[in-house]
């Protein structure tokens, strides 16, 4: 039966003390004994005892009579001993009868053949440990972190920058456009460019945005190479701009500009030509229409928030000037004072609208969140849905790993490593899930033990430890000389520094072992 003969299962039942107790009890009694016989036994023995009327011993093998509620078929299930249960579930789940299907179908395959107490919970646990099922996932990763609204209190205090493309090549040779949006006023700009290297992006921002609206306090970008370059970092330092970045593969952090892209693409798609080569020529008029429309979050149009008035549109020219709507001021000072008061009132109302919109978005988002926390030393799977050439994404595994959590970055980021020598990766909590299967050995415990051994000795032990260390060092060198040294054995060792609760890993090469080449064996040196 699936690799095990009845004799092997019979031996396994005899080695299982709980099943053996029920077999001996059934062979010794024709009638069901009283409950006092199993009152001091385990829960599994009591569960089997409750199945007394359905149990039968055939040639020393304990079986259970079972009738299917769906097909009305009668079968005899083998009461599986504990030593075979885990492997039996794996065969039923991954073999020809399983195909890595879900819990319900796996339980159906097992119930047709075997039974033991708590078998359903064992199936659920084993399916969580299945590596192939844990790595394969369709759709987006589940939400595990509550939403943290990202707002601003003044115009051009926080600016989001992003790049969208590659788009169809326009008649002017442009394939990308740099988008900039103010978090507070929702004033947006889009600049077409041919490439999106760091010098081009920096020049576009300085010549077209910073020179007109001034320097923002903070810039929010993703982790694109043009934004993480040395040039862009030096630009922010010279302009005294704080550069903040999103978590890797977490565009919702920069949700304002991402939502703007959706609206912008919808607007361009309705006015562009059939060959889609004039999209850069449509950008100025499309952006003018966007800035003139009322934004749902603020309750005002970006023109009203920044310019203090609505732009004169072609529709206004058709209607002409309406009497009584023009503001009348006697001098420039009154005009400036009145405009300033209007702007303050506008900003106050906009802040209230932004707070309410942020609260509403957070409530909607958090309603689908299932909070989950991770700790240092846990092994996790990392959601990394890459696309490969000549591979269909429908068959690709979206979770990579397992990875070890080496550091926690509040409130929702983690630093993970696949091996002790691999580069650490900073990821968002939503991209992780616990690894329930077999995991490698954690190197954090070994390093912590080494650090504890290197602690300062107590008073009166310095000389003793020094002498012992000299003996151990000489013995270690003799052992190394006796062992053959190969090139690939000289690997980097990870040295971990514990400071302020953080873990900093450095790769250091061990000292090279010098030995006489084999061709000089027999020579007197």
Res. 472: pLDDT tops 80: no
* Residue 328: per-residue pLDDT: 64
390 — pLDDT class (breaks 50, 70, 90): confident
340-344: long-range contacts, CB 8 A cutoff, minimum separation 24:
342/308, 343/308
| Whether pLDDT at 401 is above 70 | yes
Residue 214: pLDDT over 70: yes
Q: Cα–Cα distance between 168 and 175 in angstroms, integer?
A: 6
pLDDT of residue 250: 79
* 156-175 average pLDDT score: 89
Nearest to 386 by CA among 449, 431, 328: 431
Cα–Cα distances in angstroms (integers) from residue 462 to residues 160, 458, 474, in the given order: 58, 7, 18
The yes-or-no verdict on residue 425 having pLDDT over 80 is: yes
How confident is the model at residue 325, as a pLDDT?
52
From 46-55, 131-140, 310-319, 394-403, the region with the lowest mean pLDDT: 310-319
190, 191, 210, 232, 457 from 204: Cα distances, Å: 10, 8, 9, 12, 60
* Closest C-alpha among 22, 44, 287, 55 to residue 181: 287
For residues 403 and 384, what is the distance between their CA atoms, to the nearest angstrom?
A: 12
pLDDT of 499 strictly over 60 = no
Segment 23-29 shows an average pLDDT of 86
Instruction: Over range 293-322, report the average pLDDT.
Output: 77
Beta strands (DSSP E) in 185-294 are 188-193, 218-221, 242-245
pLDDT at 452: 38
0.75 surpassed by pTM: no
User: Which has more confidence, 143 or 327?
Assistant: 143
Torsion of CA 206, 209, 210, 212, to 10 degrees: 120
Q: What is the pLDDT of residues 282-297, one digit of tens each?
A: 888 888 888 888 888 8
How much is the average pLDDT of 501-522?
56
Contact (CB, 8 A) for 172 and 375: no
Question: Could you please report the per-residue DSSP string of 289-337?
Answer: HHHHSPPTTTSS-HHHHHHSS----HHHHHH-PPTT-S---SSHHHHHH
Confidence bin at 523 (pLDDT 50/70/90): low
Distance CA 492, CA 480 (A): 17
Given a cut of 60, is residue 487 above it in pLDDT? no
Instruction: Locate 517 and state its tokens.
Output: 């080449």
pLDDT, average across residues 503-522: 58
Which of 157-171, 244-258, 427-441 has the lowest average pLDDT?
244-258
N-to-C CA span, the chain: 69
**Rounded average pLDDT over 470-488:** 42
Can you tell me the mean pLDDT for 30-59? 86
Beta strands 413-417 and 176-182: pairing type?
unpaired
Peptide bond into 402 cis (omega under 30): yes
Contact (Cβ atoms closer than 8 angstroms) between residue 46 and residue 33: no
Give the span between the Cα atoms of 185 and 301, in whole angstroms.
8
Please compute the mean of the pLDDT values over residues 471-487 and round it to a whole number: 42
Mean model confidence pLDDT for the chain: 78
Mean pLDDT check: name the lowest of 138-142, 180-184, 368-372, 501-505: 501-505
- Smallest CA-to-CA distance from 21 within 79, 69, 75 is with 79
**What percentage of the chain carries pLDDT values higher than 90?**
7
Stretch among 1-15, 215-229, 454-468 having the lowest mean pLDDT: 454-468
Better-predicted residue by pLDDT, 102 or 518: 102
Confidence of residue 481 (pLDDT cuts 50, 70, 90): very low
Q: What is the pLDDT of residue 405?
A: 92
Kindly tell me if the per-residue pLDDT of 101 is higher than 60.
yes
- Is 416 within 8 Å of 424 (Cβ atoms)? yes
pLDDT of residue 504: 43
For the cut 80, the answer to whether the pLDDT of residue 349 exceeds it is yes
**What's the mean pLDDT in 338-352?**
80
User: How far lies 197's CA from each of 200, 221, 231, 351, in Å?
Assistant: 5, 14, 10, 36
Q: Does 471 or 385 have the greater pLDDT score?
A: 385
State how far the Cα of 285 lies from the Cα of 292, in Å rounded to an integer: 11
Residue 469 has pLDDT above 70, yes or no: no
């Amino acid at each position: 039966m699936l690799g095990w003969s009845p004799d092997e299962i019979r031996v396994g039942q005899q080695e299982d003390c709980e099943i053996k107790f029920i077999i001996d009890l059934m062979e010794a009694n024709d009638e069901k004994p009283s409950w006092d016989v199993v009152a001091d036994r385990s829960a599994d023995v009591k569960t089997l005892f409750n199945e007394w009327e359905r149990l039968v011993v055939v040639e020393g093998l304990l079986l259970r009579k079972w009738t299917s509620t769906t097909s009305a078929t009668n079968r005899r299930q083998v009461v599986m001993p504990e030593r075979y249960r885990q492997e039996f579930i794996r065969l039923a789940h991954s073999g020809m009868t399983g195909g890595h299907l879900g819990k319900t179908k796996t339980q159906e395959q097992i119930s047709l053949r075997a039974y033991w107490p708590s078998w359903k919970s064992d199936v659920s646990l084993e399916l969580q440990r299945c590596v192939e099922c844990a790595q394969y996932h369709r759709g987006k990763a589940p939400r595990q972190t509550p939403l943290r609204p990202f707002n601003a209190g003044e115009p051009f205090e926080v600016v989001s920058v992003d790049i969208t493309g590659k788009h169809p090549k326009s008649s002017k040779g442009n394939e990308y456009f740099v988008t900039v949006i103010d978090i507070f006023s929702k004033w947006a700009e889009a600049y077409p460019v041919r490439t999106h290297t760091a010098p081009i992006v920096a020049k576009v921002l300085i010549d077209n945005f910073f020179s007109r609206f001034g320097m923002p306090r903070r810039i929010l970008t993703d982790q694109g190479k043009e934004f993480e370059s040395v040039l862009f970092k030096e630009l922010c330092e010279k302009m005294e701009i704080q550069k903040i970045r999103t978590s890797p593969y977490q565009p919702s952090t920069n949700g304002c500009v991402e939502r703007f892209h959706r609206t912008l693409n919808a607007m361009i798609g309705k006015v562009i030509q059939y060959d889609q080569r004039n999209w850069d020529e449509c950008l100025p008029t499309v952006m003018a229409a966007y800035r003139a429309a009322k934004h749902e979050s603020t309750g005002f149009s970006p023109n009203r928030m920044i310019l203090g008035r609505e732009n004169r549109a072609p529709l206004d020219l058709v209607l002409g000037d309406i009497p009584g709507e023009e503001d009348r001021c006697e001098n420039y000072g009154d005009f400036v004072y009145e405009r300033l008061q209007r702007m303050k009132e506008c900003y106050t109302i906009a802040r209230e609208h932004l707070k309410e919109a942020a609260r509403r978005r957070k409530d909607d988002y958090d309603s689908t969140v299932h909070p989950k926390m991770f700790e240092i030393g846990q092994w996790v799977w990392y959601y990394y849905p890459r696309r490969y050439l000549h591979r269909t994404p429908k068959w690709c595994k979206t979770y990579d790993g397992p990875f070890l959590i080496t550091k926690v970055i509040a409130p929702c980021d983690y630093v993970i490593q696949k091996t002790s020598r691999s580069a650490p990766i900073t990821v968002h909590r939503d991209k992780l899930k616990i690894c329930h299967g077999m995991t490698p050995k954690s190197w954090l415990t070994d390093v912590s033990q080494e650090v504890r051994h290197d602690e300062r000795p107590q008073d009166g032990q310095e000389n003793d430890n020094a002498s012992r260390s000299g003996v151990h060092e000489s013995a270690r060198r003799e052992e190394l000389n006796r062992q053959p040294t190969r090139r690939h054995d000289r690997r980097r060792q990870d040295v971990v520094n514990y400071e302020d609760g953080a873990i900093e890993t450095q790769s250091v090469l061990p000292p090279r072992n010098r030995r006489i080449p084999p061709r000089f064996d027999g020579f007197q040196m």
